[in-house]
Amino acid sequence: MLAGLVCAVGTSLCYGIGSVLQAMAAGSTDAAERLDPRLLLRLARAWRYVVGLALDGVGFLLSLVALRSLPLYVVQAVVASSLAVTAVTASIVLGTRLRAAERAALAGVVLGLVLVSLSAAPESARVPGPAVGWLLLVAAVALVLVSLPAGRLAGTRGAAMLGGVAGLAFGVVAVAARALSASSATGQLLPPVHVLVGSPSTYALLVAAPLALVAYATALQRGSVVQATAPLVVGETVLPALVGLVVLGDRARPGWGVVAAAGFALAVGAAVRLSGFGEVATPPDRSEARP
């Protein structure tokens, strides 16, 4: 379980630093008027976005390892703490200052994660039934359909809607990753190829992951980091945690349920508070991300 916690913290570090780099890149490229996958191609010319995306990839692999021994709600609570990493990174890289409220929120994230970690029971991931994979695939396709009209909303409404779509899509990715990780043999990160090809969770992940990237990048162009990230955090943490508890059989240590709930609420709530910190200022030079 200790190794799983270390990997979950590593995921948080990768996601937090990657978010700062991606936000800077998204603000320095031409804005998309609708949800357009070609935005990712333009962003791919910005080194900050490429590095941030690579960190996301490393973080995702670390989360797969963490999910082998930790309940989904624990991993997602630690993922929510990536906003604390974002705040600290922004203060270092961009020279922004942590106010008293942000320092209190950082302490809340740390305390919440301590409570969640103490409540976690070591477990082997339970293999879900095929119905879970099909539901994930249906959810991923439904999010694609919702994202099309949401992508045409301008300003703060567009940022909030697309941030929410991105969060729910990342949530689908998290649950699908948990399902696939549970299907792999002991000592293996992923199940055999024939299991991957035959699992609807694989296709749900393949639909949801690029949707989440495009929706979040577009949301960062429509509004502030606050408006884009707050709904993302809620979508990618709360709903997957509920799915883990209701469907996947995640449980806290006996007698620690209240502590787990309090720690999760504190960590996620403080992370949402931190999502308003350090509006990422982007450089005026767009030369590195010109279409």
How much is the pTM? Answer: 0.76
Number of domains in the chain: 1
Q: Is residue 237 part of a domain?
A: yes
Secondary structure percentages of the chain, helix, strand, coil, to 5:
75, 0, 25
Q: Is residue 233 part of a domain?
A: yes
Q: Is residue 289 part of a domain?
A: no
What are the pLDDT digits (tens) for 94-123? 666 667 877 787 788 778 877 877 777 665
Tell me how far the alpha carbon of residue 81 is from its chain's centroid.
10
State whether residue 96 is helix, strand or coil. coil
> Do 226 and 31 touch, CB atoms closer than 8 A?
no
State the distance between the two ends of the chain, measured CA to CA, in whole angstroms.
Answer: 46
Kindly write down the DSSP assignment for every residue of 193-218, as one continuous string: HHHHHH-HHHHHHHHHHHHHHHHHHH
Return the pLDDT at 64.
Answer: 81
> Do 106 and 270 touch, CB atoms closer than 8 A?
yes
Q: Is residue 290 part of a domain?
A: no
Q: Which two tokens stand for residue 48?
A: 């900050």
Compute the average pLDDT of residues 63-92.
77
What are the pLDDT digits (tens) for 258-272? 888 888 888 778 777
Compute the average pLDDT of residues 223-227.
65
Cβ neighbours of 249 (radius 10 Å): 12
Find residue 120's DSSP bridge partners.
252
Residue 283 pLDDT > 50: no
Round to whole Å and give the CA distance between 84 and 107: 9
What are the pLDDT digits (tens) for 151-207? 888 777 888 888 889 989 998 998 888 888 766 655 566 677 887 888 898 999 999
Of the candidates 210, 188, 231, which has an alpha carbon nearest to the alpha carbon of residue 80? Answer: 231
Q: Which domain holds residue 230?
A: 2-284
Of the candidates 78, 228, 107, 241, which has an alpha carbon nearest to the alpha carbon of residue 166? Answer: 228
Q: Is residue 291 part of a domain?
A: no
- What does pLDDT average to over the chain? 79
Q: Is residue 17 part of a domain?
A: yes
